A and B are shown apart, each in its own frame.
Chain A
Amino acid sequence: MFSYALKRLGLSVAIVSLAMLLLFSMIYLVPGDPAAVALGPRATDAMREALRIKMGLDQPVWVQFWNFFTGAWTGDLGREVLSDRPVAQVVMEQLPYTLALIAGGISWSVAIGIPLGCWAAVKRGSWADRIVGVLSVAVIAVPSFVIAIYALLVFAVSLRWLPAIGAGEPGDLGDQLTHLILPSLAVGLGWIGYIARMVRASMLEVLEAQHIRTARAFGLPENLITFRYALTIAILPTVTLLGVGIGQMLSSAVFAEIVFARPGVGKLVYDAILTRNYPLVTGAVLVTTVLFVLINLLADLIVGALDPRVRSRL
């Protein structure tokens, strides 16, 4: 287990380093001088030159990359152009909103997806199974931003059941939760389908296993077999799936934050691009990438700890 964890960690570090290189070269290749963009059209040449030196743009490429690289690993993502605050601080202020949104999405998908998948597996071949199957495929197919807009239209604009914009009053937990319902549904709806399918497939596999047959032979109640002996095993692949899922939910979160005018990292990046605030773009994208890699690492380590077969695969 230890050597597996070490190898997996090494892989993650390599991926993050490469992602940094890609991001750096992307921003480096952006047409236009970042210093000129930051200062606007009325700046003098001397002002631009001063800012270029301050931003380190006068140094050779590899020195710039090395500074970016070592800075990023130590948590220094540079300063943003508009307000001159540290990028890391700005991103960290917005991160909790996005994390809450994703946690909400996961709650929706787990709370509905697992029971649905389990139910479909137990009622295999029935109408219920088929309907769950079709619905799962349907919610996976429809893009989250369309769901977000239709949800906004139906529940916030027409029915007025739920608030349409913002993240709620700070400190008022109830208000914040009601503001979370629609955006997190938009983020998590597709994953209800993924999880239902995954749980159904692995439940069907587990229900055929020897120990379930033994349990049946002993005459244990069917509910006990389903929930205690089958579902606890069948749920394992969902852990890895959720690792990937959080990455996709980060994408959906960008849309949900824009549609529902919520603060968050997605909206931060979007606004930063519109104002050409490049350090903020790189910083925020890098933070989400690291987050994604970390979550996948965690998911793999959990599964590796639970299932020894996975460890030999790396």
Chain B
Amino acid sequence: MSEAVSNPPSMAQRLRLGDIWKATRRVLREPLGAFGLILVLVMIGGAVFADWLTAYEPNKISPRDRFQGPSLDHLLGTDHLGRDLFTRVLHGGRIALWVALFSTAISLSIGIVLGLIAGYGPRWLDNLMLLLFDSIKSFPTVMLALALVTLAGPSLTAVVIVVVLVNVPGYARIIRTQTLALKESEFVTAAQSMGASSARILRVHVMPNVIGPLLILASMDIPVVIAIEAGMSFLGLGVRPPTPSWGAILNDGFTAIRDTPWIAIAGGLPIILTTLGFTFLGETLRDVFDPRLKGRG
């Protein structure tokens, strides 16, 4: 990283196809990384090809088939409305993935901009923003979600807003710290003395150097985001029925846990496997790419 600081490479240079292949091989060499990668690929594959993988519709109600245990016809059984749980789990993966990618992208953009401003801007603005970040982080996540849903009503948008509010302070702080360090570096001073504008310095000289570690941390937050979506949907604060979501299935199962435990199992299993997969993969990626981040959290 010290080389990168003295001579900033562009993102395109850094992410060549060969490097990605090399990194993948290094991840595969670690048993845990390989296991994580397989789980993640299975989850993504299931979500993407959901329509081809089962013969059922996720929301089709069929009262005759209600509360059937797992069988060859219904791999994970059916729920109280006779819907095939395996199909609903696959389609729930789409919701989880969509929320994870969309809200992470938004949190990253906002976090980067705020972090650059806090790190490069005047001191009073920096202090004010830190105070704001600390205040947002001082709400326990679920309390924040509950308060927000009171305001906005349950929806996927509410989930995205909660995720953004939870993630942005952390991302902005990382960018801020790195920007503060880079502000004093020689190549930034050189650019300043040649009359480059603040916007140009931030875009060309600071951004490429701070974004790498952040991307790794953001990818490690994906399981957290998936957990927030599932948790809010479990509480009825996320997706509206009948949209399939792992949290919603888990809630259906919780209501009927004494008589039909397989519904709760079907809802919980994908949450467990996906969070484990992303976490194992993220841990391995971090060790491969940036050993300095080891031990965070």
Contacts and interface: CB of A to CB of B under 8 A. Distances in A.
Interface of A: 11, 14-16, 18-19, 22-23, 26-27, 29-30, 134, 137-138, 140-143, 145-146, 149-150, 152-153, 157-158, 194, 197, 201, 247-248, 250-252, 254-255, 258-259, 266, 269-270, 273, 276, 278, 281-282, 285, 288-289, 292-293, 296
Contact of B261 (A142, A143, A157, A248): A157
Interface in B7-43: 32
Interface in B263-280: 264-265, 268, 271-272, 275-276, 278-280
A52 B139 CA distance: 29
A142 B276 contact: yes
Contact of B151 (A11, A26, A255): A26
Nearest to B228: A143
Interface of B: 32, 131-132, 134-136, 138-143, 146-151, 223, 227, 230-231, 234-235, 250, 253-254, 257-258, 261, 264-265, 268, 271-272, 275-276, 278-280, 283, 295, 297
Contacts of A153: 257, 261, 264-265
Given A15-B134, A22-B135, A254 B146 contact: yes
Contacts of B223: 141
Nearest to A29: B151
B139 A19 contact: yes
Given A26-B148, A142-B272, A247-B140, 15 more contacts: A11-B131, A15-B131, A26-B151, A140-B279, A141-B223, A146-B271, A146-B272, A149-B264, A150-B265, A152-B257, A153-B257, A270-B235, A278-B150, A285-B139, A292-B138
B192 to A, nearest CB: 28
Most buried by A among B223, B253, B254, B278: B254
B131 to A, nearest CB: 6
A53 B94 CA distance: 49
A166 to B, nearest CB: 15
A interface, over-half SS = helix
A18 B254 contact: no
Contacts of B231: 143, 145, 255
Contacts of B149: 273
Contacts of B151: 26-27, 29-30
Contacts of A285: 139, 143, 146-147
Given A152-B257, A251-B143, A285-B139, A146 B148 contact: no
